[in-house]
Amino acid sequence: MKAIIIGAGMGGLSAAIALKQAGFETEVYEQVTENKPVGAAISVWSNGVKCMNYLGLHEQMVKLGGVMDSMAYVDGLTGEGMCQFSLAPLIEQVGQRPFPVARAELQLMLMQEYGIDEIHFGMRMVDIADDGSQVTATFADGSTATGDLLIGADGAKSMTRDYVLGAPTQRRYAGYVNWNGLVPVNTDFGPADQWTTYVGEGKRVSVMPVSEGRFYFFFDVPLPAGLDYDRASAKEVLAEHFGHWAPGVQSLISTLDPMTTNRVEIFDVEPFHTWTKGRVTLVGDAGHNTTPDIGQGGCSAMEDAIALSIALRVNTLGVEDALKRYEKKRTERAGDLVLRARKRCDVTHAKDPAATQAWYDELRCEDGTGIVRGIVSNIEGNPLD
């Protein structure tokens, strides 16, 4: 059985590793010519880490991951603590520590694990043809690849999704812009082992530990889409939005390197429940593009990869049947996480200012129980619980 995998992001690579380990023949095609992911880091929550563990990559995750023992919210304007609590109850409830990791390092680790020399880089798929017994991808250079199934792990702007749904999908602008990057740990921003988030005015500034004494940082600002931006101006633009915020935030702005700071307009896609057509299926953002507000997009992609490999291994009525069973297992949970993230996004970014103020008020009374319960509920229901 041969699987053609389109996209070497975390979804495609996780699927490729899982299927290779299960004895499938796999071919991975990626449009870019090198490992240069957009975005500095991601938080791999416990469900994502469990998927990596399932693939035998636990030690690698421990090496790449930051030690995040506690969580805190701070009033962005005054610097006054709103709540601070341990993440130990979360880890105990779900059975696995989460690991924030530098994105490029996670990608590289997955590529190496699969076999970096085996990945076909610089190959942009432009067409899919399924004749009922085999499926063929055509690439921009005119070459083709044929297999028993095709896995579209081609991300948020997936062309495989358009093929499966029979029409282009409209992405929805979530209403905010995110700047992110990596800086050396500095306790001016927050303790080295803590996820610290400053909130106020519907905006957010956050630092989270990744390995080797670095913080992943991000800034969120509600803004229209499509504004002009010059990367070199990151500090000035952030100072415009946060110049009146607490000293920790000023210190972060003065530390960051504008040239390695990413700026991303945040979109999502309304959940849909058809991921499979014949011998073609979707994995990752192609099937469930979410806002990053609960940090679950990449984790869901990893869950897809594991669920897909299990479906293909345990069902014997053929590829099309196995893909339908995979779809049935995954679409509801993945879609639910997209909607949870959207809800969180709207509260965090002051879509309704009264609801956001109520959330700020709640944070001042929070002992961690409610927040941990919320994170646990995102993690639970994964294929490896």
Q: Does 278 contact ligand FAD by CB under 6 A?
A: no
Return the sign of the alpha-carbon dihedral for residues 319, 321, 324, 326. negative
Q: The tokens of 189 are what?
A: 């921003």
Q: Does 6 contact ligand FAD by CB under 6 A?
A: yes
What number of other Cβ atoms are within 10 A of residue 317's Cβ? 9
According to CB under 6 A, which one of 2, 58, 124, 235 is a site residue for ligand FAD?
Answer: 124
Q: Does 9 contact ligand FAD by CB under 6 A?
A: yes
CA–CA distance, 78 with 249 (Å, rounded to integer):
10
Q: Does 209 contact ligand FAD by CB under 6 A?
A: no
According to CB under 6 A, which one of 285, 327, 346, 366 is a site residue for ligand FAD?
Answer: 285
113 by DSSP, 3-state: which?
helix
**Could you tell me which residues come within 8 angstroms of residue 242 by beta carbon, excluding any fewer than 6 positions away?**
76, 203, 205, 219, 249, 250, 253
According to CB under 6 A, which one of 5, 111, 125, 253 is a site residue for ligand FAD?
Answer: 125
Place of tokens 């897909």: 308
Options 37-45, 63-71, 197-205, 351-359: segment touching ligand FAD (CB under 6 A): 37-45
Q: How many residues interact with ligand FAD (rule CB under 6 A)?
A: 35
According to CB under 6 A, which one of 1, 2, 21, 39 is a site residue for ligand FAD?
Answer: 39
According to CB under 6 A, which one of 19, 49, 82, 153 is a site residue for ligand FAD?
Answer: 153
- In eight-state DSSP terms, residue 287 is T
Which lies closer to ligand FAD via its Cβ, residue 66 or residue 155? 155
Which lies closer to ligand FAD via its Cβ, residue 321 or residue 337? 337
CA–CA distance, 281 with 274 (Å, rounded to integer):
9
C-beta separation of 248 from 77 below 8 A:
no
Binding region for ligand FAD (CB under 6 A):
6-12, 29-32, 39, 42-43, 48, 124-125, 153-156, 159, 178, 180, 264, 284-286, 292, 295-299, 301
